[in-house]
Amino acid sequence: MTQDENPVLNDLSSFDANVKRPTLPDHIQYVIVEGVIGAGKTTLAQITANRYGARLITERPDENPFLEKFYSDRPRWAFQTQLSYLASRFRQQQELLKRDLFHQIMVSDYSFDKDRIFARINLSGDELQLYETLYSLMQPTTPVPDLVVYLQQSTERLMANIRKRGRSYETTMEESYISALNDAYNNYFFHYTSSPLLIVNATNLDFVEHSEDLNELMRQIETLKHPGTTYYNPSPSQTPLL
């Protein structure tokens, strides 16, 4: 389903200028939505940016010239793919440091730190050591978010989402690779302490098709007060999506 066909996305992208928008707490000006491939992070980032009149920052995977080759032969193209991502993401992060006078709030569909998760799965030896050297030079100069929303899903749900969106270069993606990424993401966010973190058990959420799911998720974000990690587990009575 495209954005034009979806009522939830359309409603959020066409706010009446005379109607007061929902607001975030004043201290939240930079929000990151994260999750494994297929978790819906870009969609939720778009919805969130529209809801709060924020500047949207998205990574652009289709602009990586090595990505399609990487999915067909990961060992051969992992290093080139990873360095291309590292460079483009760092360049984009530096742009974020420039104050946007027209959008106080920024919403991103990725964190710079997640680049390292992929690198540690796909690289090894001298290539990983070189990557770590470059990453350690770049990371301290990137902006720290005021809130991270992590969409946690089962590997089965992620694979179903990947198949549903049907990107050609993802058709050969193995479940074992997504499972390894899922474990790595969960481990990373289990130890995450850099900023407030909302971990959303999103396996049985559908915030695109069901407005009640979206409204409750937005309420969780708007009322978040805990400075550490908060877990949001939707009611188990909800109909499973798988």
pTM of the model: 0.86
The correct answer on CATH 3.55.40.10 for the domain covering 3-232 is no
Domain boundaries, the chain: 3-232
Identify the pLDDT of residue 5. 45
Residues of the chain with pLDDT under 50: 1-5, 7-8, 10-17, 237-242
Coil, helix or strand at residue 33: strand
Q: Collect all residues with Cβ–Cβ distance below 8 Å to 229 and sequence separation of at least 6.
A: 192, 196, 197, 198, 199
Report the alpha-carbon distance of residue 103 to residue 52 in Å, rounded. 10
Q: Collect all residues with Cβ–Cβ distance below 8 Å to 115 and sequence separation of at least 6.
A: 82, 85, 86, 89, 135
Distance of alpha carbon 20 from the chain centroid: 27
Identify the pLDDT of residue 226. 85
Identify the pLDDT of residue 4. 44
Letter string b/e over residues 81-106, b meaning 16 or more CB atoms within 10 A of that residue's CB: bbbbbbebbbebbeebeeeeeeeebb
Identify the pLDDT of residue 97. 79
Identify the pLDDT of residue 17. 47
Q: Name all contacts of 219-226 with Cβ < 8 Å and 24+ positions apart.
A: 221/24, 221/31, 221/48, 221/147, 221/149, 222/22, 222/23, 222/24, 222/25, 224/25, 224/147, 224/196, 224/198, 225/25, 226/196
Distances (CA, A) of 99 to 30, 103, 104, 167, 174: 12, 9, 8, 34, 41
Q: Return the half-sphere exposure (C-beta side, CA atoms, 13 A cut-off) of residue 99.
A: 2
CB atoms within 10 A of CB 198: 20
The CA radius of gyration of the chain, in Å to the nearest whole number, is: 18
